[in-house]
């Protein structure tokens, strides 16, 4: 009896895994095609200095619109791209495209910078740094206008290698941000060994700021933590004036979120920037 039900369960799991694998394969095939046909594109979300209410730059975010006009969320396709290795060529394209976009935006507002998400696999490629140098060179931009966003998951490649690479990146004057801080398998000992310029507080903590629950206490602690480690602190996913006010009181340096601007295509971002200039 027990054996029979055990077998039944094993069957059930096998079927499930089969479905998940097929779905994954379908998604990967679609993504590969979208990349080949150049139907992936980038949107840009403004980042602002909180106290000065000044635009300092943008984060490039990848978008995939399928042939039937549906959007697939990066939360869904980035993991598939990572597992398959497709994130390496895609990430290279993202870097180059975002820097070309930045060259255009800097003609409009001097000093803007671009933040680009880098997946752990991409970061671990031996040619990564050379590609970054080349992309900056081709866009005619100084290293200081680029920020690479990494997450604590880069630790999978070994902290020795990560910290050596980060030192090389910093020596060039390229900035590094730790993304989604406080989520995933965060460890404060990693933070201590990652020489980063900026700490990004994850939206999960920011959204708690006007709720009054204990999660808000975490957001409050991250600001002085980042500062004590010599980093600027940027809050992600700011949606309400109350959250912005709380962040201002905490001394948070920078913000990004729907309250200020949604991720926009390049033309939209340029228009948005021009609009702000005329209002100022
Ligand atoms: P992330 O880097 O933490 O990006 C922030 C995410 O929060 C973006 O989601 C953005 O659209 C969203 N967001 C920003 N402000 C708000 C807000 O006020 N409210 C809400 N509800 N959401 C907000 P998105 O674009 O869906 O990207 C999800 C994740 O996918 C990114 O998280 C990043 O980890 C990854 N990703 C996106 N583009 C790339 C890329 O080019 N390369 C790599 N490796 N990963 C990427
Ligand atoms: Mg990011
Ligand atoms: Mg984030
Ligand atoms: Mg995220």
Calculate how far, in angstroms, residue 183's C-alpha sits from the geometric centre of ligand 4: 9
Q: For residues 205 and 172, is the Cβ–Cβ distance under 8 A? A: no
pLDDT of residue 278: 84
- CB 64, CB 37: distance < 8 Å: no
What is the model's pLDDT at position 157?
87
For residue 227, the surrounding DSSP H or E stretch is: helix 215-228
Using the mean position of ligand 1's atoms as its centre, give its distance from the Cα of residue 25 in Å. 23
Asked if residues 112 and 55 have their Cβ atoms less than 8 Å apart, the reply is: yes
Coil, strand or helix at 73: coil
Q: How far is CA 177 from CA 114, 184, 226, 270, 275, in A?
A: 11, 16, 11, 24, 28
The residues with which 117 forms a beta bridge, in sequence order, are 149
Calpha distance 16→221 (Å, rounded): 41
Cα(111) to centroid of ligand 3, in Å?
23
For ligand 1, mutation pick of 45, 61, 73, 99 (most atoms within 8 Å of CB): 61
Judged by DSSP in three states, 92 sits in helix
DSSP characters for 143-172? GGGEEEEE-GGGGGG-HHHHHHHHHHHHHT
Q: Which residues surround ligand 3, an ion (CB under 5 A)?
A: 179-180, 236
pLDDT along the chain (280 residues), means of 10: 44 58 90 93 98 97 94 94 96 98 97 97 96 98 98 88 94 96 77 89 92 85 94 97 96 98 98 89
Please work out whether the CB of residue 196 comes within 6 Å of at least one atom of ligand 1: no
Which tokens in the block code for residue 79?
Answer: 């993991």
Q: Is the CB of 46 under 6 A from ligand 1?
A: no
- Cα–Cα distance measured from residue 238 to residue 204, given in angstroms and rounded to the nearest whole number: 10
- Protein residue whose Cα sits closest to atom 30 of ligand 1: 74
**Minimum CA distance residue for ligand 1 atom 11:** 263
């Amino acid at each position: 009896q027990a054996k029979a039900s055990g077998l039944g369960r094993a069957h059930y799991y096998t079927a499930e895994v089969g479905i998940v694998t097929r779905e994954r394969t379908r998604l990967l095939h679609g993504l590969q095609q979208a990349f080949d046909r150049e139907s992936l594109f980038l949107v840009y979300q403004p980042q602002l200095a909180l106290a000065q209410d000044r635009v300092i730059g943008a984060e490039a975010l990848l978008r995939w619109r399928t042939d039937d006009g549906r959007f697939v969320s990066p939360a869904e396709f980035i993991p598939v791209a990572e597992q398959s290795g497709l994130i390496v060529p895609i990430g290279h394209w993202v870097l180059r495209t975002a820097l070309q976009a930045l060259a255009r935006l800097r003609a409009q507002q001097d000093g803007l910078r671009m933040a680009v998400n880098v997946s752990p696999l991409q970061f671990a490629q031996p040619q990564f740094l050379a590609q970054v140098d080349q992309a900056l060179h081709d866009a005619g931009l100084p290293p200081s206008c680029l920020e690479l966003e990494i997450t604590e998951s880069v630790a999978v490649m070994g902290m020795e290698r990560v910290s050596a690479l980060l030192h090389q990146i910093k020596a060039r004057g390229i900035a590094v941000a730790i993304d989604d801080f406080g989520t995933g398998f965060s460890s404060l000992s990693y933070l201590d060994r990652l020489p980063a310029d900026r700490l990004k507080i994850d939206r999960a903590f920011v959204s708690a700021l006007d709720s009054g629950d204990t999660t808000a206490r975490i957001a409050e602690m991250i600001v002085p933590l980042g500062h004590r480690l010599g980093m600027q602190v940027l809050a992600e996913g700011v949606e309400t004036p109350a959250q912005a006010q709380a962040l201002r009181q905490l001394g948070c340096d920078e913000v990004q979120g729907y309250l200020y601007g949604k991720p926009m295509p390049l033309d939209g971002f340029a228009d948005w920037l021009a609009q702000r200039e005329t209002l100022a």
